[in-house]
Structure 1
Amino acid sequence: MTTPAAPRRRPAWAGRNYTLLTTAAVVTNLGSNGALIAAAFAVLEAGGDGGDVGLVAAARTLPLVLFLLVGGAIADRLPRHRVMVAANVLNCLSQAAFAVLVLTGEARLWQMMLLSALGGVGQAFFGPAAEGMLLSSVTAEQAGRAFALFRFASQGATMSGAALGGALIAVIGPGWVLAVDAAAFALAGALRAFLDVSHIPERGAGGGLLADLRDGWREFTGRTWLWAIVVQFSLVNAVIVAADAVYGPQVARDSLGGPGPWGLALGLFGAGNAAGALLMARWKPRRLLLVGVLCVFPFALPSAALAVPVPIAVLCLAMFVSGLSIEVFGVSWMTALHQEIPEDKLSRVSAYDWFGSVAMVPLAAALAGPAESAFGRTAALWGCAGLCVVATAAVLCVRDVRDLTRRGTPVARAQAGPAAGGEPGSADAEGPVGRLG
C-alpha cells in the first residue's frame, strides 16, 4: 500500500524566505498601524494639540528621508536579513520605551519626538533591505503572483491593525497598544533572523559607502523608466497626502457627516487594495509599466470627489477604484524592478525609489494649510487632482515606460543559474540568484 502524499500547505514557489517575509510583514503591519493611531492619542492625552501630533509625525518622517540612501547602501553591502533584524530591534526598543513613558504618565513631547525619530531611522534601514530581500525570494515566472499575494496579506494586516488598534485604544489605552507593537517587532525580528541568504552571492568590499551610493545612482539614473516614474510619484504621493490627510477629514466634517462616513470611505479604499491584489495574482499584463501607469490616473478620483463634494456613496466608489488601481500599479512596479535591476544593487535602487517617492510628502503636508488659505479648499483639491493627472500623462510620453515588457527571465539574472538547494520552482528553491516594493 502507498501512503497518500500530504497536501501542500503553501504553493511550491513560496519558499521559506517568501513565507517568512510575508508572515513577518503581517505581524508588523498588525502592530504598527494600530501604534500610529496610539501615538497620536498618546500626544493628546499628554496635553498636546493637533500641532504637537504633527510634530511627532514629522519627527518620524524626517530621519526616514535623511537615512534612506545610507540604509540602501548598507543593505547591499551587508547581509540584508541582518540589517532587517537590527532595524526591528531598534523599532522594538523605541516603541517599548514609548509605551513605558505613556503608561507611567511621564511622556513629554520631546521624548515622544525623539522615540518617533528612532523609529524613522529603523524604517530607513529596514525598507530598502526588506524590498531587496523580497525581490530575491521568488522566481521570475511567479514574481507577479508572489508580489500580489504579499501585498494582499500586508494590506489586510494594515486594515485589521488600524481597526484593532482603534478598538484597543478605547479599551486599554494607547500605552498598551504601543507595547503590543513593540512585541510585534520582536516577533517579526525573530522570524527574519531565520531568512536564508545562501543563494545571494557575497558582495565585495567595494570602494566605500560613497562609492556604493554613486554606483546606485548610476543604476537609478541609467534607466529612464525608473527615474521618470519616481519623479512622477514624488508629486503623486505628495498631493495624495495633502488631499487625504489634510483636506479629507475637513470635507468629511463639513459636508459628509463627520468621521464615520470618512472612515467608511477609507475602508472602501482598503477593500479596493485587496481586490487589486487578488486581480494581479491572476493577471499578468505584458506591458508592465504601461498598464501600471495608466492605473495611476484613477488616483485623482478621491481628490476630485472631495472637491465637489460628492455624496458619500460616490466617494466610496472613487476610493475603491483608487485603491484597486494602486495595487495594479504596485505589483507591476515590483515586477519590473525584479526583472530589470541586478540583485546586488536592489537595495540601493529601492532606497533611491523610496527617497524620491517620499521626499516631498513633508513639504506637501506643511503647504496644504497655506494653499487652502490662499486658494480655498475646493481649488486646492482640484489642484491635487490636476497635478496627479498631469504628472501621469507626462510619464506616458516616455517611450521606455510604454515599451517595457514582461520577460520570463530577469535580464540581470539570466546567466546567474539556479540557487543552491534546488531547481527554480521546486519546493525548496528560492529561485535564480538574480531576480525583484
Structure 2
Amino acid sequence: MTSDTTPVTDPATKSLWSGNFRLYFGARTTSMLGDGMLPVALSVGVLAAGHGITGVGYALGAWMAALTLFMLAGGVLADRFTPRRMMVLADVVRVVVQATMAITFVLGASDLVTIVVLQFISGAATALFQPGVASMIPKIATDVQRANGVLRISEALAGVLGPALAGALVTAFGAGTVFFIYAATYGVSAVCLVAMRMDRAEAVRTAESYWRQLVEGWQDFRSRTWLWGVIAIWLVYGCFVPGVSLPVAAELVVADHGSTALGIGMALFGAGGVLGGALAMRTKAARPLLAGSLGWALFVAYPFVPALRPPELLLYAGWLVAGFGLAYWQVLWSTTVQTQIPSDLLNRVYAYDVAGSLLALALGRSLAGPLAELVGARQLMALSTVLGLVCTGLLLAVPAIRNLRRVN
C-alpha cells in the first residue's frame, strides 16, 4: 500500500492559502467549534431545565433526524441556487435559532417542545449547509487533498476544544451564554462566506424540476461502482464499528478508569485526527481508496482496546491510532469524491453519501444499548472489531474500489 504513496511536491500547493480559502477556513473553523459546543451546552441546559436524559435524547435526536431527512433536498437546492447561497442562508437561520435557544434558557422558559422544535429547524438548516462543504473546496483550492487535510485537522481540534470550552463556560455562566456564543459562530461563518469572491458565471440550474435533479443525482451515484460500493460497505461498518463502539466504549472506559481517563482518551483521539490529517496533506496515493482502507483497519483499535480492559496507557495509544486512521480515511475519501464527481452533480451526489453515512451512524447508536445488554459490552466491542476488519477486507476485495486512480 505504501508503494502507491508519494510525497507531495507540487509547487502549486504553496498557493493553498488564497484569500478565498482563508475565508472558507475561517467559516468552517468557527462553525465546527460551535458544533463541538452543542452537545455539552444542550445536554446541560436540558437537564437543568428538568427534562432529564429523555429530554436530551429528544433534543439531539430531533437535530439528527432533520439533518437526515433534508440532506437530499439540500443537495438539489445547492445545485439550483449555488452552494454558497445555501450555506449563507443556513448560517443565518442557525444564528436565529440558537440565539432563540439562548434567550429561552436565560429567561427560564425552556419547555421541551420549544427546544425540540428549534433543534429540528437547526438540523434542517444544517442539511442545507452540508452539501456545499464538499463542492466549495474544488472551487477555491489548488490542491484539494491538502485543503481537506487542513480542514480535517481543524475539525479534530474543534472536536477537542469545543466540548472543553463549552464545559467551562456552561459551568461559569450557564447554558444560555454558551448558546449566544454558539449563535455567534454561525454569524462569523456567514460573514466569511459572503466575503468570498466567487465566479459570477457560476451556473444556477433552474430549468429542470426538483425531482428530475434528484433522480439525476441518484443515477450518477449508482453508475459509479466505487461510490455506491463504499457506501454499501459503510452501512455495515458505520453502524457496527463507529456507530456502536462510540457510546459502548465510552461506558467501558468510565467503568474501568473513570471519566478523567475518558476525557484524556477522547483528547488523544482528536490528536490522532490531527496526525492523520497532517499525513494525508503531505502524501498522495495513486490509488486513494486502497491507501485509505488503512484508516478503516486502524480505527478498529477504538472498540478493540476497551474490550481488553487495558491499562490506561494502552487505551490512550489505541485511541490515538484510531483517530489517526479515521482522519486519514476521511481526507482521502473526501478528496476522491470531490475530484471524481462532475461539479454540476457534486452537491447532489455528496448528499446521497452523507445521508447514507448518517443513517448508518444513527442506526448504530440506537442499537448500541440493546446489543450490549444482549451479548455483553465487551463481547460487542470484540464483535465490532471483527466486523471492522471484515469490512476492510470487503473494501479491498472490490476491484472498482481498490483500483480507482487519483485524478490530480
Alignment of structure 1 residues 19-418 onto 2, 5 Å: 19-139=22-142, 142-198=143-199, 201-239=202-240, 240-245=242-247, 247-256=248-257, 258-408=258-408
Q: Matched residues in 2 for 1:253 and 1:282: separation?
A: 36
Q: Distance in 1 between matches of 2:285 and 2:201?
A: 28
For 1:244 and 1:229, the matched residues in 2 are separated by 21
**Preserved CA contact (<8 Å) 1:230 1:357:** yes
Matched AA of 2:138: L
The question of whether the paired residues in 1 share the 8 Å contact of 2:16 and 2:141 is answered with yes
Q: Distance in 1 between matches of 2:159 and 2:374?
A: 35
Amino acid at match of 1:30: L
Tell me, in whole angstroms, the C-alpha distance in 1 between the residues paired with 2:39 and 2:373: 28
Residue identity matched to 1:147: N
Q: What is the CA–CA distance in structure 2 between the aligned matches of 1:204 and 1:53, rounded to whole Å?
A: 40
Letter in 2 for 1:224: T
Shift of the alpha carbon at 1:11? 4.0
Deviations 1:24-76 (A, max 9, x none): 11111222211221000001101122222111111111111110001001101
- Aligned 8 A contact 2:254 2:261 in 1: no
The one-letter code of the counterpart of 2:177 is W
1:204-237 deviation line (CA, Å, top 9, x unaligned): 4242111111111111111111111122222333
Question: Which amino acid is 1:93 matched to?
Answer: V
Q: If each structure's helix is expressed as a fraction of its own residues, which one has the higher value? A: 2
Q: CA RMSD in A?
A: 1.6
Q: CA deviation at 1:200?
A: 5.8
Which amino acid in 2 is paired with 1:214?
V
SS, match of residue 193 in structure 1: helix
Residue identity in the other structure for 1:250? E
What is the CA-CA distance between 1:334 and the residue it aligns to? Answer: 1.8
Inter-partner Cα distance in structure 1 for 2:99 and 2:359 = 28
User: How far apart are the structure 2 equivalents of 1:57 and 1:353?
Assistant: 22
- Percent of aligned pairs with the same residue? 29
Q: Which amino acid aligns with 1:154?
A: E
Greater Cα offset, 61-70 or 27-36: 27-36
Q: CA deviation at 1:199?
A: 6.5
Paired with 1:154 and 1:298, the residues of 2 have a C-alpha distance of: 19
Cα distance in structure 1, aligned partners of 2:339 and 2:357: 20
**Residues in 2 aligned to 1:405 and 1:271: alpha-carbon distance in whole angstroms:** 29
Q: Which amino acid in the other structure matches residue 217 of structure 1?
A: W
AA aligned to 2:246 is D
Q: Which moved more, 1:89-98 or 1:234-243?
A: 234-243
What's the secondary structure of 2:285's corresponding residue?
A: coil
Q: Is the 8 A contact 1:216 1:345 kept in 2?
A: yes
Distance in 1 of aligned mates of 2:305 and 2:206: 53
SS state at 2:397 partner = coil
* AA aligned opposite 1:202: A
Residue 206 of structure 2 aligns to a residue in which SS? coil
- Kindly provide the CA deviation profile for residues 92-113 of structure 1, in whole angstroms up to 9, marking residues without a partner as x: 1111111111111110111111
Deviations, residues 172-214 of structure 1 (Å, cap 9, x unaligned): 1111001100011111111111223316641442421111111
Q: CA–CA distance in 2 between the matches of 1:338 and 1:167? A: 37
Structure 1: distance between partners of 2:338 and 2:180: 36
Would you say how many aligned residue pairs link Structure 1 and Structure 2? Answer: 395
Is the contact between residue 272 and residue 322 of structure 1 (CA under 8 Å) also seen in structure 2?
Answer: yes
CA distance in 2, matches of 1:137, 1:303: 37
Report the 3-state secondary structure (helix = DSSP H, G, I; strand = E; otherwise coil) of the residue aligned with 1:27.
Answer: helix
Deviations 1:369-407 (A, max 9, x none): 111221111222222222222222112111011111223
Change in Cα spacing, 1:150 to 1:367, as seen in structure 2 (3 Å) is closer
Aligned partners of 2:109, 2:404: CA distance in 1, in Å?
A: 55
Gaps of 5+ in 1: 1-9, 409-437
Which piece of structure 1 moves more, 292-301 or 267-276?
Answer: 292-301
CA contact (8 A) 2:134 2:334 kept: no
Secondary structure of 2:195 counterpart? coil
Pairwise CA distance, 1:290:
0.2
- Which residue of the partner structure matches residue 416 of structure 1? none
**In structure 2, C-alpha distance between the alignment counterparts of 1:403 and 1:249, rounded to whole Å:** 36
**Quick one: which amino acid aligns to residue 105 of structure 2?**
V
* Counterpart residue type for residue 289 of structure 1: L
Cα distance in 2 for partners of 1:277, 1:199 equals 32
One-letter amino acid of the counterpart of residue 35, structure 2: S
CA contact (8 A) 1:206 1:212 kept: no
2:407 & 2:218 partners in 1: Cα distance? 25
Secondary structure in 2 aligned to 1:296?
A: helix
TM-score, normalized by length of structure 2?
0.93
Output the TM-score relative to the length of structure 1.
Answer: 0.87
